[in-house]
Amino acid sequence: MSRRLASLALAAAMTVGACAPRYQATDYALAQPEGPYQLASGDKLRIIVFGQDNLSNIYAVDGSGKISMPLVNTIVAQGRSTQQLAREIEAKLRGGYLREPKVSVEVDTYRPFFVLGEVTNSGQFPFVSGMTVQTAVAIAGGFTPRGQRNSAEVTRQIEGQLVTATVPITYPVQPGDTIVIKERWF
Protein backbone atom coordinates (compact mmCIF):
# COMPACT_ATOMS: atom_id res chain seq x y z
CA MET A 1 0.00 0.00 0.00
CA SER A 2 1.53 3.33 -0.98
CA ARG A 3 2.13 6.09 1.55
CA ARG A 4 -0.36 8.40 -0.16
CA LEU A 5 -3.04 5.73 -0.31
CA ALA A 6 -2.51 4.82 3.35
CA SER A 7 -2.66 8.50 4.37
CA LEU A 8 -5.84 9.05 2.35
CA ALA A 9 -7.47 5.96 3.83
CA LEU A 10 -6.56 7.14 7.33
CA ALA A 11 -7.86 10.66 6.68
CA ALA A 12 -11.08 9.39 5.06
CA ALA A 13 -11.76 7.01 7.93
CA MET A 14 -11.28 9.82 10.44
CA THR A 15 -14.07 11.88 8.85
CA VAL A 16 -16.69 9.13 9.29
CA GLY A 17 -17.89 10.62 12.55
CA ALA A 18 -17.82 10.43 16.30
CA CYS A 19 -18.82 6.74 16.28
CA ALA A 20 -15.76 5.77 14.26
CA PRO A 21 -13.10 3.76 16.11
CA ARG A 22 -10.04 5.55 17.44
CA TYR A 23 -6.86 5.04 15.46
CA GLN A 24 -4.29 2.83 17.06
CA ALA A 25 -0.54 2.84 16.58
CA THR A 26 -0.69 0.19 13.85
CA ASP A 27 -2.93 2.44 11.72
CA TYR A 28 -0.91 5.56 12.41
CA ALA A 29 2.42 3.86 11.66
CA LEU A 30 1.40 3.83 8.01
CA ALA A 31 1.50 7.62 8.06
CA GLN A 32 5.15 7.83 9.13
CA PRO A 33 7.00 10.11 6.70
CA GLU A 34 9.14 8.37 4.13
CA GLY A 35 12.21 9.78 2.47
CA PRO A 36 14.10 12.91 3.41
CA TYR A 37 12.91 15.46 5.96
CA GLN A 38 10.41 17.95 4.52
CA LEU A 39 10.97 21.60 5.47
CA ALA A 40 8.14 23.69 6.94
CA SER A 41 7.41 26.94 8.77
CA GLY A 42 9.44 27.29 11.95
CA ASP A 43 12.57 25.51 10.68
CA LYS A 44 15.83 27.46 10.71
CA LEU A 45 18.26 26.63 7.92
CA ARG A 46 22.03 27.04 7.71
CA ILE A 47 22.68 27.94 4.07
CA ILE A 48 26.28 28.03 2.91
CA VAL A 49 27.18 29.42 -0.51
CA PHE A 50 30.81 28.31 -0.94
CA GLY A 51 33.14 31.23 -1.61
CA GLN A 52 30.41 33.78 -0.81
CA ASP A 53 30.57 34.51 2.92
CA ASN A 54 28.15 37.42 2.58
CA LEU A 55 25.39 35.04 1.36
CA SER A 56 26.08 32.28 3.89
CA ASN A 57 23.87 32.62 6.97
CA ILE A 58 21.03 31.12 8.99
CA TYR A 59 17.62 31.73 7.41
CA ALA A 60 14.21 31.05 8.98
CA VAL A 61 11.34 29.50 7.05
CA ASP A 62 8.55 32.04 7.55
CA GLY A 63 4.84 31.45 8.12
CA SER A 64 4.17 31.23 4.39
CA GLY A 65 6.82 28.51 3.99
CA LYS A 66 9.41 30.71 2.26
CA ILE A 67 12.90 31.95 2.97
CA SER A 68 14.29 35.31 1.90
CA MET A 69 17.93 35.58 0.77
CA PRO A 70 20.03 38.33 -0.82
CA LEU A 71 20.23 38.09 -4.66
CA VAL A 72 17.67 35.28 -4.65
CA ASN A 73 14.74 37.10 -3.03
CA THR A 74 12.13 34.63 -1.77
CA ILE A 75 12.12 30.88 -2.40
CA VAL A 76 9.50 28.34 -1.35
CA ALA A 77 11.05 25.94 1.18
CA GLN A 78 7.83 24.33 2.48
CA GLY A 79 7.52 20.67 1.48
CA ARG A 80 11.03 20.44 0.02
CA SER A 81 14.07 18.55 1.20
CA THR A 82 17.31 20.38 1.99
CA GLN A 83 18.85 19.01 -1.23
CA GLN A 84 15.96 20.24 -3.37
CA LEU A 85 16.21 23.69 -1.81
CA ALA A 86 20.00 23.79 -2.36
CA ARG A 87 19.53 22.96 -6.08
CA GLU A 88 16.90 25.71 -6.44
CA ILE A 89 19.16 28.31 -4.78
CA GLU A 90 22.03 27.26 -7.07
CA ALA A 91 19.78 27.66 -10.13
CA LYS A 92 18.69 31.16 -9.06
CA LEU A 93 22.28 32.24 -8.32
CA ARG A 94 23.44 30.81 -11.66
CA GLY A 95 20.87 33.02 -13.41
CA GLY A 96 23.10 36.08 -13.63
CA TYR A 97 24.94 36.29 -10.31
CA LEU A 98 27.49 33.48 -9.93
CA ARG A 99 29.19 31.30 -12.53
CA GLU A 100 29.37 27.95 -10.68
CA PRO A 101 27.52 28.30 -7.35
CA LYS A 102 27.82 25.49 -4.82
CA VAL A 103 25.20 25.60 -2.08
CA SER A 104 24.75 23.51 1.04
CA VAL A 105 21.53 23.57 3.08
CA GLU A 106 21.12 21.90 6.47
CA VAL A 107 18.56 22.24 9.23
CA ASP A 108 20.07 24.34 12.02
CA THR A 109 16.99 24.21 14.29
CA TYR A 110 13.92 22.06 13.70
CA ARG A 111 10.45 23.51 14.22
CA PRO A 112 9.20 22.89 17.75
CA PHE A 113 6.82 20.21 18.97
CA PHE A 114 4.03 20.76 21.52
CA VAL A 115 2.96 18.81 24.61
CA LEU A 116 -0.45 19.34 26.23
CA GLY A 117 -2.57 17.64 28.87
CA GLU A 118 -1.46 15.74 31.93
CA VAL A 119 2.21 16.78 31.99
CA THR A 120 4.01 18.98 34.50
CA ASN A 121 4.84 21.78 32.02
CA SER A 122 2.67 22.00 28.90
CA GLY A 123 4.05 24.05 26.06
CA GLN A 124 6.32 24.33 23.06
CA PHE A 125 9.74 22.66 23.08
CA PRO A 126 12.69 22.41 20.68
CA PHE A 127 12.78 19.17 18.69
CA VAL A 128 15.61 16.69 19.22
CA SER A 129 16.33 14.05 16.57
CA GLY A 130 15.32 10.49 17.53
CA MET A 131 12.70 11.62 20.04
CA THR A 132 9.77 9.45 21.16
CA VAL A 133 6.55 10.46 22.94
CA GLN A 134 8.14 9.29 26.20
CA THR A 135 11.19 11.55 25.80
CA ALA A 136 8.91 14.44 24.80
CA VAL A 137 6.96 13.96 28.05
CA ALA A 138 10.25 13.89 29.99
CA ILE A 139 11.25 17.20 28.38
CA ALA A 140 7.85 18.60 29.50
CA GLY A 141 8.63 17.68 33.11
CA GLY A 142 7.04 14.23 33.22
CA PHE A 143 3.51 12.98 33.78
CA THR A 144 1.19 14.45 36.40
CA PRO A 145 -0.15 11.89 38.90
CA ARG A 146 -3.30 11.54 36.77
CA GLY A 147 -1.52 11.25 33.42
CA GLN A 148 -2.12 8.20 31.25
CA ARG A 149 1.31 6.56 30.98
CA ASN A 150 0.95 3.97 28.23
CA SER A 151 -0.41 5.97 25.27
CA ALA A 152 -0.91 9.49 23.94
CA GLU A 153 -2.70 11.28 21.12
CA VAL A 154 -0.40 12.67 18.44
CA THR A 155 -1.59 15.17 15.84
CA ARG A 156 0.57 15.53 12.74
CA GLN A 157 0.15 17.27 9.41
CA ILE A 158 0.30 14.76 6.57
CA GLU A 159 -0.04 15.98 2.98
CA GLY A 160 -1.79 19.15 4.14
CA GLN A 161 -4.26 17.38 6.45
CA LEU A 162 -4.15 17.20 10.25
CA VAL A 163 -4.29 13.58 11.39
CA THR A 164 -4.76 12.53 15.04
CA ALA A 165 -4.19 9.03 16.37
CA THR A 166 -3.63 7.20 19.63
CA VAL A 167 -0.06 5.90 19.78
CA PRO A 168 2.11 4.11 22.37
CA ILE A 169 4.60 6.23 24.31
CA THR A 170 7.46 4.63 22.37
CA TYR A 171 6.16 6.15 19.11
CA PRO A 172 8.58 8.46 17.24
CA VAL A 173 7.87 12.21 17.33
CA GLN A 174 8.37 14.50 14.32
CA PRO A 175 8.95 18.27 14.32
CA GLY A 176 5.65 20.13 14.53
CA ASP A 177 3.76 17.27 16.26
CA THR A 178 1.26 18.03 19.01
CA ILE A 179 1.20 15.44 21.80
CA VAL A 180 -1.75 15.25 24.19
CA ILE A 181 -1.47 13.18 27.36
CA LYS A 182 -4.96 12.18 28.49
CA GLU A 183 -6.19 11.74 32.05
CA ARG A 184 -6.40 8.24 33.55
CA TRP A 185 -9.82 7.04 34.69
CA PHE A 186 -8.61 5.45 37.93
Domain of 142, CATH number, reads 3.10.560.10
96-153, pLDDT tens digit by residue? 788 899 999 999 999 999 999 999 999 999 998 889 999 999 999 999 999 999 999 9
Q: Are residues 124 and 147 in the same domain?
A: yes
Q: Are residues 171 and 146 in the same domain?
A: yes
User: What distance separates the 2 farthest-apart alpha carbons in the chain?
Assistant: 68
Q: Are residues 75 and 130 in the same domain?
A: no
Q: Are residues 98 and 125 in the same domain?
A: no
Q: Are residues 69 and 125 in the same domain?
A: no
Helix (H/G/I), strand (E/B), else coil: 152: strand
First-to-final CA distance of the chain = 39
Q: Are residues 18 and 59 in the same domain?
A: no
Residue where a domain stops, chosen among 85, 109, 133: 109
Per-residue pLDDT at 7: 43
How many independent structural domains does the chain possess?
2
- Is residue 161 scored above 90 in pLDDT? no
In a domain, 150, yes or no: yes
Name the average pLDDT for the chain. Answer: 84
> Whole-model pTM?
0.74
In a domain, 39, yes or no: no
* Mean pLDDT across 85-96: 93
Per-residue pLDDT at 155: 92
Q: Are residues 161 and 120 in the same domain?
A: yes
Model confidence band, residue 95 (pLDDT cutoffs 50, 70, 90) = confident
Residue where a domain stops, chosen among 59, 84, 109: 109
**CA atoms of 97 and 90, how far apart (whole Å):** 10
Q: Are residues 85 and 120 in the same domain?
A: no
Q: What is the 3-state secondary structure (H, E, C) of the chain?
A: CCHHHHHHHHHHHHCCCCCCCCCCHHHHHHHCCCCCCCCCCCCEEEEEECCCCCCCEEEECCCCCEEEECCCEEEECCCCCHHHHHHHHHHHHHCCCCCCCCEEEEEEECCCEEEEECECCCEEECCCCCCEHHHHHHHCCCECCCECCCEEEEEEEECCEEEEEEEECCCECCCCCEEEECECCC
The C-alpha torsion from 91 through 158 and 47 to 172, rounded to 10°, is -140
- Is residue 22 scored above 50 in pLDDT? no
Q: Are residues 131 and 91 in the same domain?
A: no
Per-residue pLDDT at 96: 79
Give the domain extent around 92.
44-109
